[in-house]
């Protein structure tokens, strides 16, 4: 077979892989979207706010308790292989598990003693969900950087969609399951299965290495200090994404937070789909091209990542907004009437977030962690200032305009810095 045939087959395999990933992620996105509507109809708008708080914590805490470890280990994994990260990974997971257990125990004790309205069983369920979400998030990083995107996204499908597809019919048939505790219990079972699959399918060959390698738990504090810049950048970036729902809840109340979370969850689902099916597929290649100092291939991969990510984000946003327009009358929630414009503004902001994060990959893959941190701080400051200024004046519309303004600012700042660096290099 000639080179033309080889290239044709390679392109065909790439398209097939991309299609499988997109289908898996689309099912996960649709499942989360339908779950949000299901909760709105059967548990109420305030329950969406509570669910949104847990979902937000599930995204923030892997960053807060991750200390930048996975970001650094991912770069090492791409270049040196999985055996090079087994010892520090084992120490890190022990550290993380102890942190979640201690925090959950403290919160459970506090709730039991002072906040009787929140059952301690609910707190423990939340603690279990947050720990397993953290471990599964790390698993996705590892699988993706091993360049196994289909398996990575199948694992995410189990964790993000399958339990939802089981819970909703069960809760529809048995009204007693229409509670936050029942939802959390199904969620916990789903992510436990996903984590077990990762352990048996991906880390089993590495377990022999781990058993023969000392686990440097005593060096954790020193490692955290050495990773302080990348950790701070990752933490600030995550806070910028979820800060709005907590500030809106504090300024406007739980019901307004529930409405906002409903719309924000749609935009976040689209972002996660684009991020895991396209952006994170390109990331190990960007790391590899930079490590080999191949600027031409790096620029080509970055441009391709930007083009495919934005195109997918726009198409998915239009599809979800259209679907919501036709579904909204059947939700039976009058609080949502007249707020559809909020969704459209959030989706535009979500497209800008995708563009901003793809630009952020340039700093990450080139180990320019200080620049990534500074641009993330700019986005959070812009978001906080806009939220505090606009929400009291315009309510929920002020919140979505703040979201749009923050990511417009982040994208423009990162684009300017990248162009400046290219001019200096030339």
Q: Please determine, for residue 10, whether its predicted confidence score (pLDDT) is greater than 50.
A: no
pLDDT band with cut points at 50, 70 and 90 for residue 191: very high
pLDDT tens, 264-283? Answer: 878 887 887 788 778 877 87
Which of 33-47, 66-80, 137-151, 358-372 shows the lowest per-residue confidence on average (mean pLDDT)?
66-80
Contact 150, 202 (CB under 8 A): no
Highest mean pLDDT among 40-54, 320-334, 401-415: 401-415
Higher-scoring residue by pLDDT: 199, 329: 199
pTM for the structure as a whole:
0.67
Structural domain includes residue 377: yes
Q: Could you give the angle at which helices 254-274 and 3-42 cross, rounded to 10 degrees?
A: 170
Rounded percentage of the chain residues whose pLDDT exceeds 90: 11
Structural domain includes residue 204: yes
Structural domain includes residue 1: no
Q: Residue 99's domain spans which residues? A: 9-425
pLDDT tens, 286-315? Answer: 877 777 777 788 888 888 889 988 998 998
Report the number of distinct structural domains present in the chain.
1
Structural domain includes residue 288: yes
d(CA 407, CA 380): 9
Structural domain includes residue 270: yes
Handedness of CA 106, 108, 111, 112 (dihedral sign): negative
Structural domain includes residue 247: yes
So what's the pLDDT on residue 213? 47
d(CA 300, CA 285): 11
Structural domain includes residue 3: no
Which of 117-126, 197-206, 215-224, 358-367 shows the lowest per-residue confidence on average (mean pLDDT)?
215-224
List of residues 6+ apart from 221 with CB closer than 8 A: none
Over residues 92-116, the mean pLDDT reads 74
Contact 100, 130 (CB under 8 A): yes
Would you mind telling me the total number of residues written for the chain in this entry? 426
Higher-scoring residue by pLDDT: 11, 263: 263
Mean pLDDT of the chain: 78
């Amino acid at each position: 077979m000639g080179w033309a045939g080889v290239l044709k087959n390679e392109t065909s395999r790439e398209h097939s892989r991309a299609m499988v990933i997109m289908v898996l992620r689309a099912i996960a996105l649709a499942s989360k979207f339908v779950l949000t509507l299901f909760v709105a109809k059967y548990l109420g708008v305030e329950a969406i706010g509570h669910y949104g708080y847990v979902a937000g914590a599930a995204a923030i805490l892997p960053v807060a308790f991750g200390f930048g470890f996975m970001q650094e280990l991912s770069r090492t994994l791409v270049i040196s292989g999985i055996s090079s990260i087994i010892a520090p990974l084992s120490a890190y997971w022990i550290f993380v598990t102890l942190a979640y257990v201690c925090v959950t125990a403290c919160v459970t004790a506090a709730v039991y003693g002072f906040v009787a309205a929140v059952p301690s069983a609910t707190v423990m369920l939340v603690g279990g969900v947050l720990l397993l979400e953290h471990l599964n998030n790390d698993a996705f990083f590892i699988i993706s950087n091993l360049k196994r995107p289909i398996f990575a996204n199948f694992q995410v499908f189990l964790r993000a969609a399958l339990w939802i597809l089981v819970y909703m019919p069960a809760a529809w048939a048995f009204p007693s399951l229409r509670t936050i505790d029942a939802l959390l219990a199904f969620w916990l079972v789903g992510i436990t299965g996903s984590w077990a699959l990762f352990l048996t399918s991906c880390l089993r060959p590495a377990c022999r290495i781990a058993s023969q390698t000392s686990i440097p738990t005593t060096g954790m504090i020193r490692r955290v200090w050495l990773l302080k810049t990348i950790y701070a950048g990752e933490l600030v970036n995550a806070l910028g994404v979820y800060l709005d729902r907590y500030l809106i809840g504090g300024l406007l109340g739980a019901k307004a937070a529930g409405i906002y979370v409903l719309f924000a969850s749609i935009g976040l689902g689209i972002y996660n789909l684009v991020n895991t099916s396209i952006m994170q597929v390109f990331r190990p290649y960007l790391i590899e091209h930079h490590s080999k100092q191949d600027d031409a291939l790096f620029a080509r991969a970055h441009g391709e990542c930007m083009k495919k990510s934005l195109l997918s984000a726009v198409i998915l946003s239009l599809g979800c907004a259209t679907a919501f327009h036709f579904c909204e009358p059947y939700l039976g929630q009058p609080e949502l009437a007249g707020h559809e414009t909020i969704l459209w503004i959030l989706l535009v902001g979500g497209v800008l977030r995708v563009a901003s994060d793809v630009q952020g990959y340039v700093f990450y893959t080139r180990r320019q962690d200080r620049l990534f941190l500074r641009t993330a701080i700019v986005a959070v400051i812009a978001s906080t200032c806009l939220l505090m200024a606009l929400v009291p004046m315009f309510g929920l519309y002020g919140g979505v305009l703040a979201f749009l303004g923050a990511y417009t600012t982040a994208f423009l700042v990162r684009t300017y810095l990248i162009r400046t660096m290219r001019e200096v290099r030339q």
